[in-house]
Amino acid sequence: MNFWDLCVTCAHAIGRLCVAGWHVIAHMTRLTYRYWYIVITLLVLAVAGGYYVSRYDNTTFRVNAIALLNGPTIQQFEQAYAPMRSQQLLPPGAPIGPFLYGGCAFGFDTYRVIDALGDETEDYIDFKKKSTPKDTVMVQMQDRLCLQFRMKVRDMGALPQVEETLLATLNADPAMQVSYQTYLANLREEVAFNHRQAAKLDSLTSAYYFNNPAISMADAKASSNGVTFYGDRRIRLFLNEIYKQQQHMQRMDYRLQLATAPVVLENHFAVDPKPVHSRRQIMICFFLLAWIGGCLIAEIIDKRKAISAWLKQ
């Protein structure tokens, strides 16, 4: 069979499937017309049930936050996060336990944070989970994750407590505590080293360019590209190097300020304004289920004699 024959076979199969679907819909329409009182009764009940299920206080929303990992690897975090995701094997006495088992928070999941510009800052969150660790363009950040779970409107008042207990449960993991202590010690040393280097670079620049008797400031002529001319000598100032060192030092100071625990949040959990299932989706689902269920009941009533005869055989 060549490619053309395969296309023809697939087209015939799709055509037969469409014809069969049309016959099923036509048969269900006839059953609805003949036993309209059964189908309409179920549809009315479905509409009432749909409105009750889709009431506002029962609406489910997603809750998201960016977690910053201070030392632990992604694998260590996923291992500690697994009991919340599966709602099983949760450590005894875990702070998140009452909220998890009580159904206040559910649907726990994680998504990778993507650095698309290569500047070590998050650009977007891969909610579709299409990125891979080997992707060199859409790079998965190794120190950040997006945490997500779901809550109903009636339970939203407990969101601060869920956030607090979730972090307490994660930060109590022994493996992540060991990684955090090592990371914190190295980070403090790096911050101190950066401050010493910045002070040395500033002192060296001041001593060489402004306190050097061999260079007369009277002969200095500034240029717009960071180059200063001293008579016949062309000397480039270290402005770019000082600026880069200052930026790096600020980033490290910020990381040290955030490094209060193995896992911290860059911001509090925020509620996604779009519900998981809208009222329209729920009503359509209830309507279709009621129509299909009504047609099945109508079919059983329509074929009751044949079914009774078959059972008596």
Q: What is the pLDDT of residues 296-309, one digit of tens each?
A: 988 888 888 777 77
pLDDT at 150 over 70: yes
User: Is it the case that residue 129 has pLDDT exceeding 70?
Assistant: yes
Helices in 35-60 by DSSP H: which ranges? 36-53
Question: Mean pLDDT across the stretch 121-144?
Answer: 86
> For 132-137, what is the mean pLDDT?
83
SS3 for 77-122 is HHHHHHHHHHCCCCCCCCCCHHHHHCCCCEEEEEEEEEECCCCCCC
Could you give the percent of the chain with pLDDT greater than 90?
35
How much is the pTM? 0.77
Class at the top of the CATH hierarchy for domain 59-173+262-275: alpha beta
Residue 25 has pLDDT above 70, yes or no: yes
Nearest CA to 77 out of 164, 140, 170 is that of 170
- Starting at the earlier edge strand, list the strands of the sheet with 227-230: 220-222, 227-230, 233-236
- Residue 285: band (very low, low, confident or very high) from pLDDT cuts 50, 70, 90: very high
Whether the per-residue pLDDT at 68 is higher than 80: the answer is: yes
Listed by start position, the domains of the chain span 3-54+277-301, 59-173+262-275, 184-258
Mean pLDDT of 34-54: 90
Six-digit token string for 62: 């997603």
What is the rounded distance in angstroms from the CA atom of residue 77 to the CA atom of residue 73? 6
Q: Give per-residue pLDDT as tens, 260-284.
A: 999 999 889 999 999 999 899 999 9
Q: If you average pLDDT over residues 43-48, what whole number do you get?
A: 91
User: In sequence order, which residues have a C-beta less than 8 Å from that of residue 267 and are 6 or more positions away?
Assistant: 65, 66
- Mean pLDDT across 218-236: 48
Residue 64 has pLDDT above 80, yes or no: yes
- State residue 66 phi and psi, 5-degree precision: -95, 120
